[in-house]
Amino acid sequence: MSLTNKNNTELTELDFHLSEVAHIGHAAIYVTDMKRSLWFFTDVVGLYVTKETEDRVYLRAWQDWDHHTLILIQSDQSGLDHFGWRVNSEKALLVYEDKLKKQNIDYEWIEAGTEAGQGDAIKFRSPSGIPIELYWEMEKCVADETTISKYPSHPMKYTGRGAAPRRFDHVNVMVNDVVKEQNWWTDFLGINHRYYTQNKEDIRMGSWLSKTNIAHELALMRNSNQNGAHLHHVAYFLDTPDDLIRALNLMAENDIKIEWGPGKHGTSGAQFLYAFEPSGNRVELWTGGMLIFAPDWQPIEWNAKKGQLGLDMWGSTPPESYLTYGTKIK
Amino acid sequence: MSLTNKNNTELTELDFHLSEVAHIGHAAIYVTDMKRSLWFFTDVVGLYVTKETEDRVYLRAWQDWDHHTLILIQSDQSGLDHFGWRVNSEKALLVYEDKLKKQNIDYEWIEAGTEAGQGDAIKFRSPSGIPIELYWEMEKCVADETTISKYPSHPMKYTGRGAAPRRFDHVNVMVNDVVKEQNWWTDFLGINHRYYTQNKEDIRMGSWLSKTNIAHELALMRNSNQNGAHLHHVAYFLDTPDDLIRALNLMAENDIKIEWGPGKHGTSGAQFLYAFEPSGNRVELWTGGMLIFAPDWQPIEWNAKKGQLGLDMWGSTPPESYLTYGTKIK
Amino acid sequence: MSLTNKNNTELTELDFHLSEVAHIGHAAIYVTDMKRSLWFFTDVVGLYVTKETEDRVYLRAWQDWDHHTLILIQSDQSGLDHFGWRVNSEKALLVYEDKLKKQNIDYEWIEAGTEAGQGDAIKFRSPSGIPIELYWEMEKCVADETTISKYPSHPMKYTGRGAAPRRFDHVNVMVNDVVKEQNWWTDFLGINHRYYTQNKEDIRMGSWLSKTNIAHELALMRNSNQNGAHLHHVAYFLDTPDDLIRALNLMAENDIKIEWGPGKHGTSGAQFLYAFEPSGNRVELWTGGMLIFAPDWQPIEWNAKKGQLGLDMWGSTPPESYLTYGTKIK
Amino acid sequence: MSLTNKNNTELTELDFHLSEVAHIGHAAIYVTDMKRSLWFFTDVVGLYVTKETEDRVYLRAWQDWDHHTLILIQSDQSGLDHFGWRVNSEKALLVYEDKLKKQNIDYEWIEAGTEAGQGDAIKFRSPSGIPIELYWEMEKCVADETTISKYPSHPMKYTGRGAAPRRFDHVNVMVNDVVKEQNWWTDFLGINHRYYTQNKEDIRMGSWLSKTNIAHELALMRNSNQNGAHLHHVAYFLDTPDDLIRALNLMAENDIKIEWGPGKHGTSGAQFLYAFEPSGNRVELWTGGMLIFAPDWQPIEWNAKKGQLGLDMWGSTPPESYLTYGTKIK
């Protein structure tokens, strides 16, 4: 079954020009210990449960307007199920179906409601195998009587629980060939290239991309092991560096392993921490940094001499695990 | 003279669909005491001079990538000269010329270089009389030997001087009829409506708009005096609430009148201070708040019961001057 | 019954020289709505319950080392029961008993355990009628299995709940005659005078005192109504201005009336907020400011011209209630 | 020449009981590159010059009330000249002279004015050879017309230059035998023991001491090289973690080597950075952490299992240099 069949919509040339990916919407990840992972994401990170099903929990940050920005799926192996990206119109889904067909990329329609809150979605993989779902319809999150805020700008009450990130921010995947993958995301999906790092042999070590004004919604980092795409991390945005310190304190008190940080990425200017949630997926909490407004933005190069400062402008070096460890992409 | 004549470019229907305003770029304001105003914007606020001419000084924040984001113009009366908005292509200027003609809106071409760093621009006024320049070309700011940073993401060294805002953020104008003005900005220029306030008589008190993901690039507030459009303020973005406190401290020590703040706008969630620069124009420094990603964002209403919380969610009320004082629009 | 009788301790001249008040330890206040007040102090402010009895709840901040720093007592009228100040030795209690006798000040011994965790205490009133208890012994707070921290410097786990103040800080009382009251605290109890404000008629408007290095442990402010001593507020210390913003956000979301703030006291340099707990007692949360180390510190005068800046160095003025409203001292 | 001779003051038993060290006042250090070191301490750290002589520069932080808290002395080798500790009365100097004599500790009188702003001082060394000056008189710093603040609580205008620490905080020395040294400071000088770390062999790795309520004014760390006492670092206090980030940014931009940090000492709870000033002395900037009020404080033990968390509660480990590198004590 496909959406196209439902509506018999005709696509004009203009539709092709106007159809775009709008922004990243959510990540769906596998966890091996749902109970502990859920505790981490709610009590330590401070997300809120929108919905629970037999094997899934849908979560959002306090100012995420959408039904969910993270899905935890019980599994026997941690890793990535898919990333959801919202398109800018219903028709855009059909446009992308057409483009996928033309490029002979396998895809499938995911029927509305299969993922709670989400309308029909089209699912496919990037050249490196990153599972992507494009969707148009997404329910808004709804506060109940006890969580509703008097502020219309608050989708729910700010409670300050846990690290209390404001919103979902970005995702990061380790791939074998960054250049190839980045080109595809930019050319096929229109996600702009923002900055990149090159090593001494002039091999691309990382590329950061965004469709919106935030510094990046998707990061692609070279997998040192060259054993295929792996989920590197999902990231939520904190309001301030003090919130980052608060997050570090909460993780430290709760025996969560802090892999790296606090530090400050030179590339984006954002302060960061990386930690492992109880099922082994890496999570980043970050804050600050730049927005990008120029419609003709030229990607910033961080060459071999500068690259380390791109990772941490204060001079620390990432632990080995940061460059090699990722969780499975199914 | 007009750009159209220079190039004889033909415009297709697609050009009309794809041409857009990209983002607000700068404000040009009049100051009566250039020396003191310049001291304020450089030493207290912490902007940097890009260029000085006989009667103008071009300024930018440390991470503004463009040649300038603020122009001070010596005059016998403080106020607004114009706002510059960048479009998303050179052709978009011609598209807007065509639209202006069709709507019988007076306009003129401002030749490249008339404003330092800027290419050809088209100048016209909104219904309320707000002077607007649309431009495509803008030189990048260039650091010299003493101000260049080793970080490619820093257009110049971060020195921490003054309040040290990261970037230009938004502008605010008081107008007689907010609804009419807002509709025009949204319909004619495509600037999205983000949130608005209504008073007890259900009159629109304010509307906030942006083309980008930031909460607003342009605010329109009802002029209580109903004596026409006036510049309310220009705003720069600080990285953190602590930077706001630092800014308050610096203003207090330097006898700069803090009109209102610190407070937190309920509408955007941003923390703010308002102060008057020595020539009497109001300036806002603010930090934090929300970004807006939804392509189908519905403007948030703050009705009479909520409106005051929209102005300050912590409960303070703006001083009378905040609702009545603005500087001249020439 | 008196301690003196128990031990028949002889006091030497040296005992008189070495006996001192060490620091303020806690406040015991009356609340009319225990349930709501307790919710406020635990969920919004973020204190922890050490012990509950029929009509009392003992509370502490996460890094308060003592058994409690605040006692809530159910009553039909909100206000102050007493302030507890710790002395620097057991003998100091006897020294103060002797001094009280010599000055014909009424006092009574409060037997160990009457106040949970506290040893024998001697209770009396200042000239303005402020109830004071001096004590030497105080149990340490004890974390249980679920709240114990792996950090020996954390008396309990840092959980980040509510505004999460680090520790009890100071108290403030409105009195009719500030000079007289201040002199007594300095002369009789050895609490150093740190800074003071004078009005246009050169009447003392406020005096701030401390025995320790913090800017003040006790504030005395002139009661504009001249109707006797009233509790103005009790204050807890937050780590950072960002924590203050977090506190403001939590209070705003939870419909707690913020009376004044955020602002910055010029006198101490500390950032503040004032709010009313549900039973009507005023509470301050504050952060930052100076420590005082000089053994020969001269009190800083804020005269009529400067006084307002002493209250808020950023220029706001306190609401009328701040200068007139206090809760009852029984 | 000695003070004793000048005044023929008789000392009573009470004088011995009441005479105390009040607080640490300043550090005098050697620098090999005065120009660059001065640039670092003024432009990057943000201290202010009180006085310059041929080979010395006297510096203070913006809210240091004393004439100076740091002296840079031009030399051919970087390191420590002495630490100055203020006593609580003029007589206390004579009391300590008497005690030094009784303990056969060499000392000398340093005449008033030898160190600018300072009265007569008595100089001697700790068992490990740390040079100490005790003094009573110290001029206050004086702002001039351009630096005077309208706030009586500001010894000079807050300008926000550089990292802008509020005040001098503490010093740290590596010694061969921490236990022996700590006992002497506590027993002879009355500086309280606050917390300490033990290694797996139960050898004392570090001890932290203070006379005032701040967590420590003096740290003693075991010299892994066992080659005698070396200056480890001098530390200034920043108001907030955001100020620390600002400091890190300024150091990074100015090519100052950040040795370690940002991190958070578990022992004190303070956030830190360590960097080397251009002449090679280590400097710490820190913020936050606990105050200690209990007159009967028991030193907190961090045993081998906990010790690393005492150094950084977020889990990072200090670089090798941190445990081995110090500058010379003359």
- Note which residues in 220-249 of chain C have CB less than 8 A from chain A: 240, 242-243, 246, 249
Question: What are A115-161's pLDDT values in tens digits?
Answer: 999 999 999 999 999 999 999 999 999 899 999 999 999 999 999 99
DSSP string for residues in B134-157: EES-BPBP---TTT--SSTT-SS-
DSSP string for residues in A244-266: HHHHHHHHHHTT--EEEEEEE-T
- pLDDT (mean) for C260-268: 97
Question: What are A44-75's pLDDT values in tens digits?
Answer: 999 999 999 999 999 999 999 999 999 999 99
- pLDDT (mean) for C251-275: 97
Q: How far is CA C278 from the centre of its chain?
A: 19
Q: pLDDT tens, position by position, for chain B (330 residues)?
A: 345 546 677 899 999 999 999 999 999 999 999 999 999 999 999 999 999 999 999 999 999 999 999 999 999 999 999 999 999 999 999 999 999 999 999 999 999 999 999 999 999 999 999 999 999 999 999 999 999 999 999 999 999 999 999 999 999 999 999 999 999 999 999 999 999 999 999 999 999 999 999 999 999 999 999 999 999 999 999 999 999 999 999 999 999 999 999 999 999 999 999 999 999 999 999 999 999 999 999 999 999 998 789 999 999 999 999 999 999 998
* C261-285 per-residue burial string, b: 16 or more CB within 10 A, e: under 16: bbbbbbbbbbbbbbbbbbbbbbbbb
Distance between CA atoms of residues A324 and A232, nearest Å: 9
pLDDT over threshold 80, residue A41: yes
pLDDT over threshold 60, residue A4: no
Residue A314 touches partner D, C-beta closer than 8 Å: yes
Q: Which two tokens stand for residue A64?
A: 């995420």
Q: What is the pLDDT confidence band of residue D156, given thresholds at 50, 70 and 90?
A: very high
- Note which residues in 255-284 of chain C have CB less than 8 A from chain D: 266-269
Chain C interface disruption, residue of D153, D158, D237, most C CBs within 10 A: D153
Residue B116 touches partner A, C-beta closer than 8 Å: no
Of A158, A243, A246, the CB nearest to C253: A158
Q: How far is CA C45 from the centre of its chain?
A: 16
Report pLDDT for A1: 39
Report pLDDT for D270: 98
Contacts of D22 in chain C (CB under 8 A): 293-295
Under an 8 A CB cutoff, do C314 and B262 touch? yes
Task: Tell me the percentage of chain D whose pLDDT exceeds 70.
Answer: 98
pTM of the entire structure?
Answer: 0.97
Cα–Cα nearest to C289, from D154, D248, B238: D154
Beta bridge partners of C271: C264, C287
Distance between CA atoms of residues C30 and C328, nearest Å: 9
Chain D neighbours, 3+ Cβ pairs < 8 A: A, B, C
Report pLDDT for A6: 61
Q: How far is CA B67 from the centre of its chain?
A: 16
Residue C304 touches partner B, C-beta closer than 8 Å: no
Q: How far is CA B27 from the centre of its chain?
A: 6
pLDDT over threshold 70, residue C5: no
**Dihedral, CA of residue D282, residue D288, residue D293 and residue D294, to nearest 10:** -80
Contacts of B255 in chain D (CB under 8 A): 150
pLDDT over threshold 70, residue D288: yes
Of C242, C258, C309, the CB nearest to B314: C258
Number of CB pairs, chain B paired with chain D, less than 8 A apart: 37
Under an 8 A CB cutoff, do D246 and B160 touch? yes
Q: What is the pLDDT confidence band of residue C308, given thresholds at 50, 70 and 90?
A: confident
Report pLDDT for B54: 96
- Among chain C residues, CA nearest to D24: C293
- Among chain C residues, CA nearest to A242: C242
Closest approach of chain B CAs to the CA of A212, in angstroms? 7
Under an 8 A CB cutoff, do B149 and D253 touch? yes
Report pLDDT for C9: 78
Cα–Cα nearest to C6, from C72, C105, C78, C90: C90
**Sign of the Cα pseudo-torsion (A221, A225, A231, A233, in order):** negative
Instruction: Identify the weakest region by mean pLDDT among A181-185, A303-307, C248-252.
Output: A303-307
pLDDT over threshold 80, residue A168: yes
pLDDT over threshold 70, residue C1: no
Distance between CA atoms of residues B187 and C65, nearest Å: 62
Of A86, A153, A293, the CB nearest to B290: A153
Under an 8 A CB cutoff, do A253 and C162 touch? no
Within B152-198, strands assigned E span: 167-175, 192-198
Contacts of C308 in chain B (CB under 8 A): none
Of D17, D167, D267, the CB nearest to C18: D17
With a CB cutoff of 8 Å and minimum separation 6, the contacts of A311 are A197, A263, A265, A266, A267, A317, A318
Report pLDDT for D6: 61
Contacts of B88 in chain A (CB under 8 A): 295
With a CB cutoff of 8 Å and minimum separation 6, the contacts of B201 are none
Q: What is the pLDDT confidence band of residue C3, given thresholds at 50, 70 and 90?
A: low
Q: What is the pLDDT confidence band of residue A9, given thresholds at 50, 70 and 90?
A: confident
- pLDDT (mean) for C148-153: 96
Closest approach of chain A CAs to the CA of D285, in angstroms? 14
What is the number of other CB atoms lying within 10 angstroms of the CB of residue A43? Answer: 15
CB D274 within 8 A of CB D172: no
CB A53 within 8 A of CB A116: yes
With a CB cutoff of 8 Å and minimum separation 6, the contacts of D113 are none
Residue B30: φ, ψ to 5°: -90, 140
What amino acid occupies position C287?
Answer: T
Under an 8 A CB cutoff, do C151 and A253 touch? yes
pLDDT over threshold 50, residue D97: yes
Of D150, D290, D300, the CB nearest to C63: D290
Under an 8 A CB cutoff, do A18 and B17 touch? yes
Contacts of B63 in chain D (CB under 8 A): none
Report pLDDT for B311: 94
Report pLDDT for B1: 39
Strands B192-198 and B300-302: parallel
Q: What is the pLDDT confidence band of residue C307, given thresholds at 50, 70 and 90?
A: confident
Contacts of C240 in chain B (CB under 8 A): 242
Contacts of D266 in chain C (CB under 8 A): 151, 153
Residue D106 region by backbone torsions, left for phi larger than 0, else alpha for psi between -120 and 50, else beta? beta
Contacts of C293 in chain D (CB under 8 A): 22-23, 86, 212
CB A120 within 8 A of CB A134: no
- Among chain B residues, CA nearest to A12: B14
- pLDDT (mean) for A170-198: 98
Burial label, C313 (beta-carbon count in 10 A; 0-12, 13-18, 19+): buried
Question: What are C241-254's pLDDT values in tens digits?
Answer: 999 999 999 999 99
Please provide the average confidence, as pLDDT, over all residues in chain D: 96
**Interface predicted TM-score (ipTM) of this complex, two decimals:** 0.96
Question: What are A87-99's pLDDT values in tens digits?
Answer: 999 999 999 999 9
CB C313 within 8 A of CB C264: yes
Report pLDDT for D1: 39
Cα–Cα nearest to C196, from C187, C153, C210: C210
Number of CB pairs, chain A paired with chain D, less than 8 A apart: 41
Of B89, B195, B295, the CB nearest to A88: B295
Of D63, D65, D242, the CB nearest to C294: D65
Q: What is the pLDDT confidence band of residue A238, given thresholds at 50, 70 and 90?
A: very high
Under an 8 A CB cutoff, do A249 and C149 touch? no
pLDDT over threshold 60, residue D122: yes
**Dihedral, CA of residue D238, residue D241, residue D246 and residue D248, to nearest 10:** 90
Residue D261 region by backbone torsions, left for phi larger than 0, else alpha for psi between -120 and 50, else beta? left
Of B150, B157, B242, the CB nearest to D240: B242
Contacts of B251 in chain C (CB under 8 A): 314
Report pLDDT for A174: 98
Cα–Cα nearest to A68, from A142, A17, A149: A142
DSSP string for residues in A34-103: HHHHHHIIIIIS--EEEEE-SSEEEEE-TT--BS-SEEEEE-SS-EEEEEEEEESSHHHHHHHHHHHHHT
Q: What is the pLDDT confidence band of residue D10, given thresholds at 50, 70 and 90?
A: confident
